[in-house]
Structure 1
């Protein structure tokens, strides 16, 4: 295999010209560096509650019953409230301003979490943290779709998603280290120090965003891009966007356009369901299992679930690389792999009499569920590539509807009081995997159907143009 072939597999389509290669190098460096660090702190500040819960917060705040689940549900409600408004704000406010501003706000709220005296105060903080953190995930996927071609998008989306998973992994490692070295220092518990350190990490990255983030190609004034590179960035994706559908203020025409197509409903349903396949990892079921059965230290309870996240990172990168390398840019096989992985994991955990090693295997292979996240949003970017405004709404809606379900799903199927077995949750996971396969087929079919109809319309347009040209020639001859 040639170097060009290897480069395509590892990093997506290879630019044809030197100018495009230089442009891609710059946007990779500045867009991915900030977006990945921003999302890293997003998940670091989000997942610290689950690590704090099993590291002393539960006892210090006198938490009982399903209050841990309620904290996550309240955060999710804030996330839902902030989802579409945040993405629409990117249409009217510079992303270079909006992203870092929201990051500063949730960083400040993370600091506040270190000083809570009761769980009610944490409820309030987590709600507003959800509102501000909602700016990051779908907003970044919108930005990535504005700069990258289809053959470049999968790997970048995967790297971005992995940065959040690294934040989750790092939070567990950091909590274990903080508990070991800072617990009791200055009269503060280790879990309180975790919130302080996470806030300290967050703020400098926000300042970096103010300096380097380039907005979108049509509005960028980044100091590191030449005028020629700005024009090239627009031209690279211009052929995929229809007139009147580019970045700009939302109108009622946009609402009618979005709601009259299958894309909004299909993509929203796909992530609303498939996103729940992440429940074994996102609810830290492994950590709750280890704490409930006893025999493990606080450090081990923080460290061992990191393996779930590590599998998620590896699976996401492999799947993203594969989807970019395939000619058809097929995304659906990744969702099939994810559904199979969580089904196997659930069956292993339902067989409760099995050895402890089997349970470790089950939780770790369930980490593959994270690979569907990047793929699903890259797929939606691909489907809506011809309409930037629709793309912004669809991406936001996908995450919003997933969080609408996630607001109550764990309270029913993954309650803290169900530890260590979570039997009903395992049955729910099998049902979710089956539903994911059905919706994946629906979206695949509708995308193929739309391309086929578009191709037929294109043929008719060409025939009509030829007829008009012949008529004009005949008139000229007369």
Structure 2
């Protein structure tokens, strides 16, 4: 099984010793980053799990306070992204990542001591700052170690690990609630935050001692000198950081279609994930007019949504790689999915089983995360590195900036169980996504006809990156 997994990731060995190097990198980089992202998402999703498991009643939540807390977290997450990624260029990743993990683990445990929703709001803001390092930081690291033909699958596996955190959060919450509720006078949902915080600490220690940093700075004891040299040689030459962040550079960013095209793509696609990221199925069950669900059911039934997301993410990441990078297919698939699922929830004739099926199917849109970031990297592969980094960062910033208010406007908890306004928003986003995807396909085809604007890959670059430029 392990041999098949390594074959799925690595394919054929291009250089002597490369397969062995990749096995080591996959084990230490992916294990640490995926575990980090798993517990990152576990912390996020468990707030909703705790909400439906007694926290709402114990802390006397009113109206849309849960959505406000999620928005406060998003604000902290947005503000922390660029500073945290810049910090990785000054502080060794093996130091920076563990510090952030310890910080958010401590904040998670502190949540167990709160007595009102306002305290959670303050904690979640700083939790967002700390957790902002994980997503963008990991993509920075993956891009430093893996070539173009290797990066897509790793990105898909990384994304799937976050969805697994969302999926298993429900099972963990139900288990804690049934076994620890009332222990030492604490509610089950409080034990959830304590345990979540504690289990992040071993991951921080693991990263501190064994994370390999970047190819040019690694001191990992498990990499031989020849393997370190190979890690550097197999990647394309990095452009030196000499250009300044001035008006000329800003004008360059906003004068290309890449910034507008991919930032808007991810803003629209990010809102098609709202069914899942706002835990609408759990809120639908909690507010069902006739059916009453147990705490175990409220936590376990929604886990099918991220499970579908994991399968969809890995399927589309693999398929689009196999088809030569036709990432745009995911945009059309997600658009169709959004239209059908939102229509099913809106329909008066839909039964409870139909609504459940619609929410489960909607989990498939999670595939857009890994695929669309890979698409941006594909299209901008030979553009200026700094320009590409700004576009990728702006994609995530733009999406989260919209998420900060989108959930309150369309998916407030007091709109349950139908979320009529949100369903219409989903229909609009799905149609817009297909149109925008078509626009990017047109622009990329136009670029190919005109040829690269700035940089033509040289033979040396192609040799070092193990990538042959198109003829």
- Could you state the TM-score of these two structures normalised by the residue count of structure 1? 0.89
Q: Could you tell me how far 1:456 is from its partner in structure 2?
A: 8.6
The partner residue of 2:275 within 280, 283, 297 is 280
Larger CA deviation: 170-179 vs 338-347:
338-347
| RMSD of aligned alpha carbons | 2.4
Deviation at 1:92, TM superposition (A): 2.2
Aligned equivalents of 2:212 and 2:261: distance in 1? 31
Counterpart in the other structure of 2:164? 166
Q: Distance in 2 between matches of 1:61 and 1:31?
A: 40
What SS is found at the alignment partner of 2:17?
helix
| Structure 2 SS opposite 1:238 | coil
1:270 aligns with 2:268: no
Q: Which secondary structure state, in structure 1, belongs to the residue aligned with residue 273 of structure 2?
A: helix
Quote the Cα distance in structure 1 between the aligned partners of 2:56 and 2:455: 62
How many angstroms does 1:22 deviate by? 1.4
- The verdict on how the C-alpha distance between 1:254 and 1:126 changes in structure 2, with shifts beyond 3 A counting, is same
**Aligned pairs (5 A) from 1:289-300:** 289-293=284-288, 294-300=291-297
Give a deviation string over 1:97-126, Cα, whole Å, max 9, x none. Answer: 211111111111001111001111100000
1:128 is paired with a residue whose SS is helix
CA distance in 1, matches of 2:216, 2:95: 16
8 Å Cα contact 2:10/2:22 also seen in 1: no
Which of residues 347, 362, 365 is equivalent to 1:369?
Answer: 365
User: 2: CA distance between counterparts of 1:388 and 1:375?
Assistant: 20
Deviation of 1:159 (Å):
0.5
Counterpart residue number, 1:427: 424
- 1:56 corresponds, among 48, 54, 57, to 54
**Aligned-pair distance for 1:452?**
3.6
Instruction: Please list the CA deviations of residues 212-253 of structure 1 after superposition, one character each: whole Å capped at 9, or x if unmatched.
Output: 2112222222222222222222222216x5x436xx897447
Q: How many residues align structurally?
A: 453
Partner of 1:73: 71
Of 262-271 and 251-260, the range deviating more from structure 2? 251-260
Quick one: structure 1 residues 27 and 390, their matched pair in 2 at CA, closer, same or farther if it must change by over 3 Å? farther
SS at match of 1:305: helix
| Deviations 1:397-451 (CA, angstroms, capped at 9, x unpaired) | 2111101000000111111111000111111001111111222223333333334
User: Which is further off, 10-19 or 74-83?
Assistant: 10-19
Which deviates more, 382-391 or 176-185? Answer: 382-391
Question: Is the 1:154–1:378 Cα contact (8 Å) retained in structure 2?
Answer: yes
- Do the aligned partners of 1:54 and 1:298 also contact (CA within 8 Å) in 2? yes
Does the C-alpha gap of structure 1 residues 380 and 456 become closer, same or farther in structure 2, counting only changes over 3 Å? closer
Q: Distance in 2 between matches of 1:40 and 1:250?
A: 36
| 8 Å Cα contact 1:38/1:205 also seen in 2 | yes
Matches within 5 A, 1:151-300: 151-238=149-236, 243-244=239-240, 251-252=245-246, 255=250, 257-293=252-288, 294-300=291-297
- Asked whether the equivalents of residues 11 and 321 of structure 1 are also in contact (C-alpha less than 8 Å), the reply is no
Q: 1:258 to 1:29 in 2, by over 3 A?
A: farther
Alpha-carbon distance in structure 1 between the residues aligned to 2:161 and 2:454: 41
Higher mean alpha-carbon deviation, 137-146 vs 106-115, is at 137-146
Post-superposition offset of 1:263: 2.4
Distance 2:7 2:430 in 1: 29
Contact 1:274 1:372 in 2 (8 A): yes
Does the CA contact (< 8 Å) of 1:86 and 1:135 recur in 2?
yes
Distance 1:170 1:20 in 2: 35
Q: Answer yes or no: is the 8 Å Cα contact 2:78–2:401 preserved in 1.
A: yes
Bigger Cα displacement from structure 2, 122-131 vs 93-102: 93-102
Tell me how far apart the structure 2 counterparts of residues 226 and 209 of structure 1 sit (CA, whole Å).
Answer: 19
Contact 2:10 2:19 (C-alpha < 8 Å) held by counterparts: no
1:470 alignment partner in structure 2: none
For the Cα contact (< 8 Å) 2:6–2:23, is it kept in 1?
no
Q: Which residue of 1 aligns with 2:440?
A: 443
Taking a change above 3 Å as real, the CA distance of residues 110 and 290 of structure 1, as seen in their structure-2 partners, is same
Query: Which whole-Å CA distance do the structure 1 matches of 2:392 and 2:308 have between them?
Result: 25
Conserved in 2, the CA contact under 8 Å of 1:352 and 1:421?
no
Deviation digits for residues 296-342 of structure 1, max 9, x if unmatched?
1111010000001110011111111112222x222111222122112
| Kept after mapping to 2: 8 A contact 1:9/1:324 | no
Cα 1:352/1:10, change in 2 over 3 Å = farther
Change in Cα spacing, 1:224 to 1:175, as seen in structure 2 (3 Å) is same
Q: CA deviation at 1:54?
A: 0.5
Q: Shift of the alpha carbon at 1:18? A: 3.2
- Does the Cα contact within 8 Å between 1:13 and 1:151 map onto a contact in 2? no
TM-score (norm 2): 0.90
1:409 to 389, 406, 411: 406
Structure 2 unaligned runs (5+)?
Answer: 460-471
* Correspondent of 2:26 among 14, 18, 28: 28
Give ranges in structure 1 of 5+ residues lacking alignment: 463-478
Question: 8 Å contact 1:184–1:190 — kept in the other structure?
Answer: yes
